[in-house]
Structure 1
Amino acid sequence: MTQHTQTGGPRVAWVTGASRGIGRGIALALGRAGWTVYVTARSSGGAATSHLPGTVDATAREVSASGGRGIPVGCDHGDDDAVAAVANRVTAEQGRLDLLVNNVWAGYERLNAGAWQEWNAPLWEQPLELFDAMFTHGVRAHYVTTALCAPLLIDTPGSLVVTVSFAVAEQEQHTFAAYGMAKVADDRLALAAAVQLRPHGVTSVALHPGLVRTEGVLQFAEHLDLTASQSPEGVGRAVVALADDPQRATLAGQALDVAGLATRYRVDVTT
């Protein structure tokens, strides 16, 4: 069923890092709910950026096939001008942005390429580019996209910002130093944005998925217990339900656990 705005058109979302993984799952769930979805990532024009499958073009086609409208845009989220160009395009083409999903994340690229031992090494044995990837194409990308979209979000009544993060246990924050720092920073960004955007009618939250069966995670299935894991589109269903919640503003600034949202909204996040 297509979700319409008060002005009659479908609601508009921008999901960053949506060529694969959680971003793709959120985009597909929004498509099934009838949203217009701008799908951005570097993987465009049929060319993937790693051995893992997925491009923005493929995701956008699936969004459209599922009942929404997918709009693919190749974008390097480390390039501020490229991000600004997408924000300007959404403004020009839609004049509104009901949902921004900050999901782009380069922190797993080396791990997905097989650097399992590197991921578990102490910080002085990890390459500095691992830290840079998590912050430049993670936290900073989320900050920049939120800042550039703020005027359009403010002009869209009841808009929502979801920053995908993760609940890193205190012990693991010490074990995975750069990763823990990045995720805590994302949570703080969501909180700061909530405080500053709340007077303008915009809700900002952080989202904490559990273990999600992304393409990257499934590479290491033999090392993981996937019994209670979530699916990428299951995470997306939780986001759709949150966007549909007329009381979502009461959750502003919080880090929302996907399993908790599944209970709150009675949605299946496992399949």
Structure 2
Amino acid sequence: MTNERQGNEAPTGNVALVTGASRGVGRGIALGLLEAGFRVYGSGRSIEQADLPPEIRRLPCDQLKDEETAQVFETIRSECGALHLLVNCAWGGYEKMVEDGAFTWPAPFWDQPAHRWTGMMDAGVRAAFVCSAHAARMMTPRHRGLIVNISFWSAQRHLGNTIYGIAKAATDKMTSDMAVELKPFAVPVVSLYPGLVRTEAVVAAAKSGAFDLSTSESPEFIGRVINALFHDPNLMARTGQVLVAAAVAKKFGVLDVDGNSPPVLTLADIGSEG
């Protein structure tokens, strides 16, 4: 993928949109892509209050509202004329994990609160589908672009709760099927699995001994990995696949912000439940 200017594309280089960029993995991806030279747009409900540099264009958006999502893409179209990279990171599944003093996250499916389905399936999977449709309309005419869906191992093993598994499995299947329809237009789409990421919530939990951060990844690391994928001339050979971020990093020599190379986790390394 080259940096040539086509049509009315922005002269500033490659344009990226990261959804769910207000905090956590999404924020780190936005920072990593900015470091790599992308013109970065970040969307999210609380994006205006996010700790982001002024170079990142903030687009307030509740991805449960299709009209707000459409406005995000219209803004990018009007300001840049093109979109080269979409990272679907919006996700509402980690909200309200404790309710009325009860930790409901691992509850059996019949005791799960209804909002968790909305947070994972609507604010997560459906939001990624809608954003990908908007992005495809901008990418396919140019036969250029990349869509990355952030997913996780819960697609393949029970982790946490049933809805979590459903959402991530749906994300991976969506990636696989989108790849079939995008292939004639040379637009790849992949699912990307981070490892244990040092988000604000994970760092806070680690202080109580909940996590061992010795093999963890910074949020910016995922952005660096996505940049490497974007510039891989053979990326179409990977379209539709599930990729592990640390494995991609090993292949392309990508290091974390601290200079470390995070270990590549496998399904066997991920604890099972039930």
Q: What TM-score does the superposition give when structure 1 sets the normalisation length?
A: 0.87
Greater displacement, 126-135 / 136-145: 126-135
Percent identity of equivalent pairs: 39
The letter for the 1-side match of 2:165 is G
1:19 aligns with 2:22: yes
1:39 aligns with 2:39: no
1:236 aligns with 2:234: no
Secondary structure of the structure 1 residue equivalent to 2:3: coil
Distance 1:220 1:114 in 2: 19
Aligned-pair RMSD on alpha carbons? 2.1
CA deviation map 1:166-221 (0-9, x unaligned):
01275425x51000000000111111111111101101000101111111222221
Post-superposition offset of 1:110: 1.5
Matched residue, 2:97: 111
Secondary structure of the structure 2 residue equivalent to 1:213: coil
From 21, 28, 32, the counterpart of 1:29: 32
Alignment of 1:93-242 (within 5 A): 93-111=79-97, 117-168=103-154, 170-172=156-158, 176-221=161-206, 222-242=209-229
Matched residue, 1:49: none
Secondary structure of the structure 2 residue equivalent to 1:227: helix
Gaps of 5+ in 1: 47-54, 65-69
Quick check: 1:168–1:183 contact (8 Å CA) kept in 2? yes
1:246 aligns with 2:233: yes
CA deviation map 1:82-116 (0-9, x unaligned):
00111111111111111000000000012388977
The letter for the 2-side match of 1:259 is A
Secondary structure of the structure 1 residue equivalent to 2:251: helix
Gaps of 5+ in 2: 6-10, 259-274
Change (3 A) 1:194 1:224: same
The letter for the 1-side match of 2:180 is V
Distance 2:171 2:3 in 1: 29
Number of residue pairs matched by the alignment: 251
Quick check: 1:39–1:59 contact (8 Å CA) kept in 2? no
The letter for the 2-side match of 1:59 is L
The letter for the 2-side match of 1:5 is N
| Runs of 4+ with deviation above 3 angstroms | 112-116
